[in-house]
Chain A
Amino acid sequence: MKKNKVIVFQCIIIPLLFLKTTILFSQDFLSSGKVTGNTQIDAQYYSEDSKLGITDSSLNYKKFGMNGFANLIYTNGNFSAGARIEGFLNPMLGFDSRFEGIGVPYWFAKYKAGDLEMTAGHFYEQFGSGLILRSWEEWTLGYDNNIYGFNAHFSPYKGVMLKGLTGVQRYFWEPYENSNRGIVRGVDGNFFLNEMFGAMNESKTRIELGGSFVSKYEKVPQITYTNEMDSLAINAGDTVLWKIKKTYQLNLPYNVGSWAARANVALGGFNLYFEYAEKGNDPNATNSYIFKKGKAMYSTLSYSQKGLGIFLASKWIDNMSYKSKLSESGNPPMLDINYLPAISKEHQYSLATLYPYATQPNGEFGFQGQIIYTIPKNSTLGGKYGTTVSFNYSMARSIEKDTIISAVTGTQAGSDGYETKFFSVGDLTFYQDFNILLEKKVSSAFKFKAAFYNQEYNKHVIEDEIFDDKDIVKANIGVLDMTWKFDARNSLRMELQGLWTEEDDGDWAALMLEYNVSPKWFFAVQDEYNYGNPTEDKQVHYYNLSFGYTQESNRISLRYGRQRDGLLCVGGVCRYVPASTGLTLTITSSF
């Protein structure tokens, strides 16, 4: 009997006790945790539109497009885990058809113990300004180059942050297998001297230094070039035609490394940032398989004080496309390891975004200067509420290149491609934008913004990768944006825009009226009219009707109308959007 009791105790009670502790522990673990998340659904129903040449067959009978995601993040103290579910059923127009599908392209688990933070799964990371490594995601672009692997952040001392990572990048829904793309590994150190050294703690000059190394390994493909030459041989009095055939193989590097060094110095209202990067020989589809090293420089200088801000930026890029698969190029941009910062201003008004700038990784010089000044309140020019004026000038040009042609391939492939001097500036304009924006509140019921833009857009370079000056669009754009506030809840906003150019699609005019009943409703009508299009058939009205409803953290909006084709760019990375007509529903929500 006693023995039986022992058995009962061993077999039932002990496991129950364990189970109970487990349940208690998990309850405790769950109850002290927090779950957050957000969702966005963009759905479009496309209709045929003879004016835009859209038919069911040109839509591939995909009359409905839906892009959606949901983020779920669980946080509990030093631990967090999350996932993003994405679905493209079918991908909306302008998104690559390889996105079609639904799944979890991003999940992670992260914890912090002491000074070490570890992430396993998918993650986003950036070293410095991203010249040699940046993984990021931009939903509207359909851009996601997240890294799937391990990421460690370690802070052994105050002011020191070390990062190390290894992983593979996202490529649509394709899993990483059989070395179908490269492996990225990188380390970064950031040293904030003022925190590290006691003597500098009180110094007004704040100095931060950093350095990073990134390398990729890739099982390279075999690329061969075959040359056939004819030669005449005289043999026993007869002339015989001989062929000489030579096959060459391109010796592609399995490992491509890069490094970058950076410094940030702040003193008073000034802040100077400087970063320089180099990349080892990296023949790839973007640079036409040249073996030249890549170089990049990026610097910014800013100054601010009350009512005044000055910002200057410049960059010099040479052969810096860096992807984890060398044969990958073109659109949509995928498998980018690095990011080349854009230094053109991103505009808010639709006609000002008609000619956006896309970064040219094979070589460009860029400069931007921006001044924001607020004319004080109660002055002659400032009026009762003050007036804000901002000037912005940005430009991108070619760099000097003396082309080298390989005798074997007959192209730049297999050679250094070209010679260039560091910081040389070529004479081909890629892009130029001068703009001025005035913002003024006239009375408590009326405010307006006026803007003028003068843009120069090298269509051949930006859209077709043809490096000449045969197709430059010069456009002037004017915008007037007025808001009338009727009472605490009701307001009307009107946008008047005009774009004038002799080139491309000619002149445009746009009108938008938006009625807001805050905080819940908005209604808008908009029309963009390409009245100056040299082809009469293309003088199209791109009209849109939309309304939206907001309830707590949910927002639903519905739009019907036409979408013009063009480039959509965020941070110099662009996606082509084709013209479409139809109904768009957007739902965003968070909890």
Chain B
Amino acid sequence: MKNKFSIILFVMAFLSGFWFACDKIDEPLTLTEHTEYPVINEDTNDVFFTDSVMITEKQVLLEDFTGHRCVNCPEAAFLAHEMALEYDHKLIIYAVHVGQLAEPLPGTIFSTDFRNETGTNLYNDFNLSSLGVPIGLINRQEFSGFLPLPSFIWEQAVSNEFDKPVQAKMKLKTKYFPEEGIVVVSTESEFTETLEGNYKLVVYLAEDSINAPQLNNNPEIGPDTLYNYYHRNVLRKALNTTYGEFLTPSGQVEPGIVYKKDYTFLPDQNWQLKNCRIIAYIGKQDEVFNLTEIVQVAEVGIKTN
């Protein structure tokens, strides 16, 4: 009799485990996004200034990892901007100051700190520390089996990317509200073909033409220390985190649908807003490298008057 009861108790205890296999939800709803922005009145333009681009052709992104104390970096930057001219500015570039050679040296002419959290994330996640600067990512696509590419093969890699078909169109618009001092970025993404995988939109802000010293070893560019060097498109901030956000809740996308996303931000007082650029791109989520296979990229300025 005792034996029977113990068996029943054991069975019931085992069975009750199934009831615990039940997730009790105390907070049914979680706030995942909260944005506030002024309503854009298209009829009046005396309050804000608009700048916009519409991209229907293939554009390519070059992420130039650099440092102000890196002697080989100006050459790579010049090469990149020459290529941009050649491709009629369809090659979008931003410079990311990372690593030891980007560290500021307080009390010297190299006391400026161009580094930021986003750049450091990219540097660490793509494991660039072992390679040193200058090094580039071109559309975050591998070329000849390499993902980070040294500058001498940028030309071939860029050309290779331009040969690929257009997979998405983008519209990018910035509005500056001088009274509130804020910038609203509106993006529209539309895929032109069916793509497998999950896609994200990333929006960065870069500041162009920052005058600050830079080391150099290419006599064609100038002396060893370039005191009045104009740093081009320096990455300043990610508006929606380093790897952006999914275009749809699942990340899966369909052709022909326009995915709209708006962002509002307050620019840093130290930035020259008129020199700032918004760079937005669409990339595929990759389990190892976070975001790879950039399918389209767009750049737009911010009109301040």
Residues of B near A224 (CB, < 8 A) are: 32, 249
Q: Which residue of A lies closest to B249 (CB)?
A: A222
A133 to B259, CA, bound (A): 43
The interface on chain A, measured as residues whose beta carbon lies within 8 A of the other chain's beta carbons, has a size of: 54
Q: Which residue of B lies closest to A162 (CB)?
A: B11
A242 at the B interface (CB under 8 A)? yes
A505 to B21, CA, bound (A): 50
Q: Which of A454-499 contact B (CB under 8 A)?
A: none
B271 at the A interface (CB under 8 A)? no
A36 at the B interface (CB under 8 A)? no
Contact present for A248 and B32 (CB under 8 Å): yes
B180 at the A interface (CB under 8 A)? yes
Q: Range of interface residues on chain B?
A: 35 or more
Contact present for B31 and A254 (CB under 8 Å): no
B37 at the A interface (CB under 8 A)? yes
A431 at the B interface (CB under 8 A)? no
Contact present for B30 and A253 (CB under 8 Å): no
Contact present for B29 and A213 (CB under 8 Å): no
Within the complex, which residue of A162, A243, A257 is in contact with B37, where a contact is CB–CB below 8 Å? A243
Contact present for A251 and B25 (CB under 8 Å): yes
B250 at the A interface (CB under 8 A)? yes
Within the complex, which residue of B14, B21, B30, B37 is in contact with A215, where a contact is CB–CB below 8 Å? B21
B288 at the A interface (CB under 8 A)? no
Contact present for B23 and A254 (CB under 8 Å): yes
B85 at the A interface (CB under 8 A)? no
Question: How many whole Å from A464's CB to the nearest CB in chain B?
Answer: 28
* A240-258 vs B, Cβ < 8 Å mask (1 yes, 0 no): 1111111111111111111
Contact present for A245 and B25 (CB under 8 Å): no
* A250-270 vs B, Cβ < 8 Å mask (1 yes, 0 no): 111111111100000000000
Q: Which residue of A lies closest to B4 (CB)?
A: A157
Contact present for A247 and B33 (CB under 8 Å): yes
B2 at the A interface (CB under 8 A)? no
Question: How many whole Å from B92's CB to the nearest CB in chain A?
Answer: 28
Question: In terms of DSSP, what is the predominant structure of the interface of chain B?
Answer: mixed
Q: Which of B247-290 contact A (CB under 8 A)?
A: 249-250
Contact A253/B23 with A235-B180, A236-B179 known, Cβ cut-off 8 Å:
yes
Contact present for B18 and A251 (CB under 8 Å): no
Question: How many whole Å from A74's CB to the nearest CB in chain B?
Answer: 33
B28 at the A interface (CB under 8 A)? yes
A246 to B37, CA, bound (A): 12
Residues of B near A248 (CB, < 8 A) are: 29-32
Q: Which of A252-306 contact B (CB under 8 A)?
A: 252-259, 280-281, 283, 291
* B79-116 vs A, Cβ < 8 Å mask (1 yes, 0 no): 00000000000000000000000000000000000000
Contact present for A251 and B30 (CB under 8 Å): yes
Q: Which of B1-43 contact A (CB under 8 A)?
A: 1, 4, 7-8, 11-12, 14-25, 27-39, 41
Q: Which of B222-257 contact A (CB under 8 A)?
A: 249-250
A215 to B19, CA, bound (A): 7
Contact A225/B180 with A255-B23, A281-B24 known, Cβ cut-off 8 Å:
no
Contact present for A245 and B33 (CB under 8 Å): yes
Residues of A near B47 (CB, < 8 A) are: 238, 240
A13 at the B interface (CB under 8 A)? no
A281 to B28, CA, bound (A): 10
A230 at the B interface (CB under 8 A)? yes
Contact present for B29 and A215 (CB under 8 Å): no
Question: How many whole Å from A337's CB to the nearest CB in chain B?
Answer: 13
Contact present for A414 and B28 (CB under 8 Å): yes
A222 to B33, CA, bound (A): 14
A408 to B34, CA, bound (A): 13
Residues of B near A414 (CB, < 8 A) are: 28-29
A26 to B38, CA, bound (A): 82
A224 to B248, CA, bound (A): 11
Residues of A near B18 (CB, < 8 A) are: 185-187, 213-215, 257, 259
Contact present for B36 and A222 (CB under 8 Å): no
Q: Which of B130-145 contact A (CB under 8 A)?
A: none
Residues of A near B17 (CB, < 8 A) are: 213
A180 at the B interface (CB under 8 A)? no
Residues of A near B33 (CB, < 8 A) are: 245-247
Residues of B near A246 (CB, < 8 A) are: 31, 33-34
Question: How many whole Å from B200's CB to the nearest CB in chain A?
Answer: 15
Contact present for B28 and A255 (CB under 8 Å): no
Residues of A near B28 (CB, < 8 A) are: 250-251, 283, 291, 406, 414-415
Contact present for B29 and A251 (CB under 8 Å): yes
Q: Which of A149-165 contact B (CB under 8 A)?
A: 156-157, 160, 162
A191 at the B interface (CB under 8 A)? yes
Q: Which residue of A lies closest to B30 (CB)?
A: A249
Question: How many whole Å from A225's CB to the nearest CB in chain B?
Answer: 7
Selected A-B contacts with CB under 8 Å, 21 pairs: A157-B4, A157-B7, A162-B11, A185-B18, A185-B21, A187-B18, A189-B15, A196-B4, A211-B12, A213-B17, A215-B22, A233-B38, A245-B33, A245-B34, A251-B28, A252-B25, A253-B22, A253-B25, A281-B24, A406-B29, A414-B29
Which B residues lie at the A interface, using CB under 8 A?
1, 4, 7-8, 11-12, 14-25, 27-39, 41, 47, 179-180, 249-250
Given A244-B36, A253-B23, A280-B22; 16 other pairs, CB 8 A cutoff: A187-B14, A191-B8, A211-B12, A211-B15, A213-B15, A224-B32, A236-B179, A242-B37, A248-B32, A251-B27, A251-B28, A252-B25, A253-B22, A255-B22, A281-B24, A414-B29
The 4 closest A-B pairs by CB, nearest first: A257-B22, A213-B18, A253-B23, A247-B33
